[in-house]
Structure 1
Amino acid sequence: MSRLPGLDLLRAIAIVWVMFFHAAALGSPYPPMSRFGWMGVDLFFALSGYLIGWQVLKPLSRGEPLRWSDFYLRRAMRVLPAFWAVIALYLLVPEFRERPGMQPVWQFLTFSVNLLIDYQHNKAFSHAWSLCVEEHFYLLFPLMAWWLTRRPALWKTVAVAVALVAGGMVLRAWVWHSSLDDGSTAWVERIYYPTWMRLDGLLAGVLLAAIRAYRPSWWAAMMRRCGVLLALGLAGVAAAIWLSQDRLGFQASVFGFPVVSFGLALLVAAAASEQRWTGRVRVPGAAWLAAASFSLYLTHKQMFGLVSRHYGDRLDGHGLLALVVYAAAALLGGALLYYAVERPFLRLRDRIVQRRDDRRTPAPAAAVPAAQA
């Protein structure tokens, strides 16, 4: 899928929003951006659900086989080199850690840290929880999509979607009530981090991809109404913000995630248009932020921590200067990882996949001389 400026802009918004959220621990002077910055992760989930969903569902909708090895190769080389590089820094350079306590390395390597974390004592690299959710999605979604599309039917998709959304709400409500007196740490461990609690954003994105793949007339109608999608999406995000005034409360925990997820998915749909202005709007710097967003996500908290430990006292009370310094440090760390590790491996991945495609393409038949025809 070619890059669209609208989707790049959303990805850039997502990473900036997340960085503001994590800067709140440093006394961020921009509370409106920081307070609801956790929604940036849900925007990443919605984008991932749509983009990965389209990669998987497009060939299946055409009756083509899913190239399993290509899919998992692409995902592995997209994620693992940069992720492993950051883990190596955590092990070899303790100063790099934003917090002293850290879960065992095997939990990061097996993408199980979001299920097993002791958040009270081991906050270092805790933001890898969302990557664990993504990895579980990469592993299981192609299998589920293949199974559901052997005999595709609208009722199957609707039933699975309703079961996932309703099941998640019921499960979060039950866990919330059972954890009522256990504090914010228990809320993070039992509601915010586990994969089965955070499927709404990925599901919303996948449903967009399913509409595009299996109901192209519906998709075309949506693309003609991108302004309406944009307005509805913003209304959904506003409703989620209203629901989530108390982020740890019952209504935020139960209803906030699906409302913000489907609101953000509508924004993704609006940004996916190749003809309308919602998909073609360009903002300077957004394309680079989008390209480097994964590296920025992996490193920004560590760079914040380095600045805070060495220069935090001098930056206290200087809101704009602090913003510039912390932002510059985050951009520097992300750029180093992106250019040194992530981008070279992405280029290597593309060469490997291209060679595979070349081998699969049959050589053109030799021309038969006219005299022999």
Structure 2
Amino acid sequence: MLERKTIGAFEGARGVAALLVAIYHFALLFSFALPYPVVVRNGYLFVDLFFVLSGYVICASYESRLVTVNDLWTFAIRRFGRLFPLLIASTIAFVLVPNLYELAKHAAVMLGHANLFHDPHPVPHMVPSLAEIVATLTMTHGLGMFDKAILNFVSWSISTEFYTYMLFALACLFVAGRARIMLFATVSAVAFAVTCWASLTLHDCVATRDCLNITYDFGLTRCLTSFSLGCLTFYTARRLRPHGNALQIGALLAVYGVFAATDRVPVMAFACPLVFAVLILSLSSDRGYVARALNTAPAQLLGRCSYSIYLMHPVLIKGFGFATRHLTGTATGFATLLVYTVTLLLISGLTYRYIEAPFRDQFNRWARQQRVASGVTETA
């Protein structure tokens, strides 16, 4: 059945998008004047691709399996185990890196090596507040509790995605059939309207030229918009079973066109969830030129490590900021970007292997044990 089929193109798309987000933040935070393509200059928009993909995959995997409260509990354990361990590990690393740098700097200055630093004076250590710690541990830090993105600045999306999962599960538990589809459509439309309003009025995105870049305050509505759209995309794919190179290439060109237009007309960014949904629809058969490219070994490797790439790149940017803050020049920029990318892939491979995968598997075992203990037979 379509909903139980693993779609390799989705994995590849997620990996490519994660790497582009990582390069986008590199470009944003470093002053190297490199000729970044439009998909990097507006790379923050790929977060919406993650949300659409999650909506499709989660709906495909669980919409017919969430029928009891026990199913809801099992689902929550699995989703928590998928997101929480690496979130905590990456946040700890994000706090440790600047503090370790300042500790090493202090030791070097005390030993008479102040000449190694442009500014040898100490700076305050990074110490999370109790509110930041509690919000991160409860994954509520992306739900409008703060007036900025706290700690690992990309993790707001992990917070919103977890609670979107829970709302999805409740919808499956209490609403069935066409009413559920109508509910997803309504949620997506209302959340989109709120997101556009927040982006245009609260963030004045036309002036700042980053429409749809809603994170710490109305990130939940941004997530609900695209996640619900992903659910609707799954239902559409199940009915139409689309395939063909024309749709894939057309969707890819539409995505590129929206990114390019956003450079000139910032409000074009609001079209991204829709064009991403069309792209995911076109890839859902896992056939065609674009799908084959995304099923290649490099793209699949990126896909497996995509969550680690996404959460670990802010940590690496912190470290690179200390090492490269006074470097200039195009050649130096390209070299730094290359080293950053390779280092990120190596670190992400390690965190995937030693944190992400084992903790995910352990939580999945606990979920199966919980089902067995409650007298429910676990299914594939």
- Aligned-residue offset at 1:108: 1.8
* CA distance 1:5–1:20, shift in 2 (3 Å): same
Q: How far 1:243 sits from its partner (Å)? A: 4.3
1:367 counterpart residue number: none
Tell me the CA shift for residue 51 of structure 1. 0.8
Cα deviation code 1:5-35 (max 9, x no counterpart): 2112101111111011101111352422431
Q: Select which of 230, 237, 244 maps to 2:248.
A: 230
Change in 2 beyond 3 A, CA 1:171/1:97: farther
1:76-115 per-position Cα deviation (integer Å, ceiling 9, x unaligned): 1111111122233345554379995866222222333332
Within 2, Cα distance between the matches of 1:163 and 1:193? 13
The match for 2:336 among 319, 322, 332 is 322
Q: Structure 2 vs 1, CA of residues 304 and 345 (structure 1 numbering), >3 Å: closer, same or farther?
A: same
Letter in 2 for 1:360: V
Q: Give the structure 2 partner of residue 163 of structure 1.
A: 190
Question: 1:287-306 to 2 correspondence within 5 Å?
Answer: 287-306=300-319
Calculate the aligned-residue CA RMSD, in Å.
Answer: 3.6
Q: Which of 1 and 2 has higher RCO (CA within 8 Å, sep 6+)?
A: 2
Partner of 1:59: 65
Measure the CA separation in 1 of the matches of 2:210 and 2:256. 26
Does 2:123 match 1:107?
no
The 8 Å contact of residues 232 and 263 in structure 1, kept in 2 or not, is answered as no
* Residue aligned with 2:139, SS: coil
Partners of 2:92 and 2:369 lie apart in 1 by: 31
Bigger mean CA offset, 144-153 vs 130-139: 144-153
2:376 to 360, 363, 368: 360
2:53 matched to 1:26? Answer: no
Question: Does 1:219 pair with 2:229?
Answer: no
Find the aligned partners of 1:117 and 1:167 in 2 and give their Cα distance.
Answer: 18
Rate the CA distance shift 1:155–1:34 in 2: closer, same or farther, 3 A.
closer
Corresponding residue of 2:282: 270
Q: Displacement, 1:74?
A: 0.8
Note the 1:114-153 alignment, pairs <5 A: 114=142, 115-119=144-148, 124-149=151-176, 152=179
Picking from 45, 52, 62, the partner of 2:51 is 45
Distance in 2, Cα, partners of 1:42 & 1:321: 30
* Distance verdict in 2 for CA 1:343–1:135, change over 3 Å: same
Cα pair distance change 1:167/1:26, threshold 3 Å = closer
- Distance in 2 (CA, whole Å) between partners of 1:263 and 1:185 is 18
- Asked if 1 retains the 8 angstrom alpha-carbon contact of 2:97 and 2:319, the reply is no
Residue identity in the other structure for 1:116: M
5+ residue gaps in structure 1? 363-373
Q: What's the counterpart of residue 79 of structure 2? A: 75
Structure 1 residues 288 and 171: alpha-carbon distance in aligned structure 2, compared to 1, 3 A threshold: same
- Determine the structure 2 residue equivalent to 1:284: 297
Contact 1:315–1:322 (Cα < 8 Å) also in 2:
no
Write the letter of the residue equivalent to 1:219. Answer: L
Q: Does the aligned pair in 2 maintain the 1:86–1:299 contact within 8 Å?
A: yes
Name the CA shift for 1:80/1:156 in 2 (closer, same or farther; >3 Å).
Answer: closer
**Residue in structure 1 matched with residue 89 of structure 2 by the alignment:** 85
CA contact (8 A) 1:97 1:125 kept: no
Sort the Cα spacing of 1:356 and 1:275 in 2 relative to 1 into closer, same or farther, 3 A. farther
Aligned sequence identity (%) = 21
Letter in 2 for 1:77: G
Gaps of 5+ in 2: 103-124
* Superposition deviation, residue 123 in structure 1: 5.9
The alpha carbon displacement at 1:155 in A equals 4.9
Alpha-carbon contact 1:175-1:190 (below 8 Å) kept: no
Higher mean C-alpha deviation, range 203-212 or range 155-164: 155-164
Q: Which amino acid aligns with 1:175?
A: L
